Structure 1
Amino acid sequence: MSSSQARNRRADAQRSRASILDAAVQLLNARPDASVEAIATAAGVTRQTVYAHFPSREQLLAAVLDRITEEAVAAMDAVDLDTGPAADALLRLLDAGDRTAGRYPVLLQKISSLPVSPQADEERHAPVADRLKRVIQRGQATREFDDLLPPDWLVAVTVKLGHTASEEVDAGRMSREQAAQALHTSLLRVFGATT
């Protein structure tokens, strides 16, 4: 096989993988128990092609969650976290993540019920945690946030409170708007925000 043929095969495989993930995100958000066969049909590939890329449904769901995380991170980067007051940047980051999650409520609720190792969960949150830590450190350096608590602790608290806000919405105890406001208020208090 020539190098151009090998490149074409890799490009075809990448397109197939992207098509599968696109179809899985859309279909599973509408029907979280959709079969691999249905996802393959929606992606325009065979079931065997889906399994060639994702040997199990769990691996497909993990890749779908990675795709949504990438989308959230891109949304966070688009709101320019390095300008304006740190508290404003924090709220923009949270809102960007919430907007992304809001597009996939059914899918994220289904995926969140699956078991995941602490290491995999930490790796998945790492890009979000890095951006969050950057905002926290900037706020502490400018004294917009107090520096009594370490940034890594504040990152962990933010992730946990974000999950709690989502759980309240999923349980029907709060609307998305109420949960977002409660999250904003709680975090600004935890961070000792001066604004």
Structure 2
Amino acid sequence: MLDAAVRLLAERPDAGIAAIAAAAGLTRQTVYAHFGSRDALLDAVVDRITDQAMAAMDEAEEESGSALDALLRLQDIGWRLFERNPVLLRPGNTRAGTDTDLARHEPVAARLTRLIEKGQASGEFDPAPPATWLVAAVTALGHAAGDEVRADRLPVTEAAAWLRTATLALLGAGPGNPTP
């Protein structure tokens, strides 16, 4: 059921329960028996997509390279995720700021903290700002980029490029400060 929902919502982010049920070969009643509302189903879909993203991030982090390379790979994974799953960028389809949403961000924040601390220790990133502050700022930049896509002010590829540029500048790893 969730796999069908993920596939259908990737194509039609506004698909309703009836369409999702049909895509899964089920009745609406069956879907409602598992998920009491579309919001509950969307939460489960976002959880599934988050699990897939975390698995991709685990794989990407295992690759060798600098902290900067790893951080940029993680950002690329995030943007590919949004491109494949536009339901994540629809207003109201995810409940940003809720306890559930914050819990989804915790493993990503922990990963970013490790990478930023590694980059600060190696001299790739400015060592002055606290890593936790940089994580919050990078996360806020990511949300701002997502908001621009959601509002149709930037296409995904352009938002991703500006996010990368802003992240490099924030970390002190921009073109003017080449990494070792």
**Normalising to structure 1: TM-score of the pair?**
0.79
Identity across the alignment (%): 53
- Asked if 2 retains the 8 angstrom alpha-carbon contact of 1:165 and 1:179, the reply is yes
Q: Match for residue 44 of structure 2? A: 63
Aligned to 2:67: 86
Q: Which residue of 2 aligns with 1:100?
A: 81
Query: Which residues of structure 1 form unaligned runs of 5+?
Result: 1-19
8 Å CA contact 1:72, 1:100 repeated in 2: yes
Choose 1 or 2 for highest CA Rg. 1
Question: In structure 1, how many angstroms separate the alpha carbons of the residues matched to 2:71 and 2:159?
Answer: 16
CA contact 1:81–1:90 (8 Å) conserved in 2: no
Is the 1:21–1:64 contact (alpha carbons within 8 Å) kept by the matching residues of 2? yes
Once structures 1 and 2 are overlaid, which stretch shifts more, 30-39 or 133-142? 30-39
Q: Residue 114 of structure 1: CA displacement?
A: 4.9
Q: In 2 relative to 1, CA 45–31 (structure 1 residues): closer, same or farther, beyond 3 Å? A: same
SS in 2 for 1:72: helix
Say whether residues 1:148 and 2:106 are aligned partners. Answer: no
The aligned length equals: 175
Superposed displacement of residue 112, structure 1: 5.0
By how many angstroms is 1:41 displaced? 1.8
TM-score between the two structures when normalised by the length of structure 2: 0.85
CA distance in 2, matches of 1:93, 1:64: 21
* Structure 2 alignment gaps of length 5 or more: none
Deviations 1:81-111 (A, max 9, x none): 5621111111111111111211112x11225
Give the conservation status (yes or no) of the 8 Å contact 1:82–1:135.
Answer: no
Q: Please, what is the CA RMSD of the aligned residues?
A: 2.1
Q: Which amino acid aligns with 2:133?
A: W
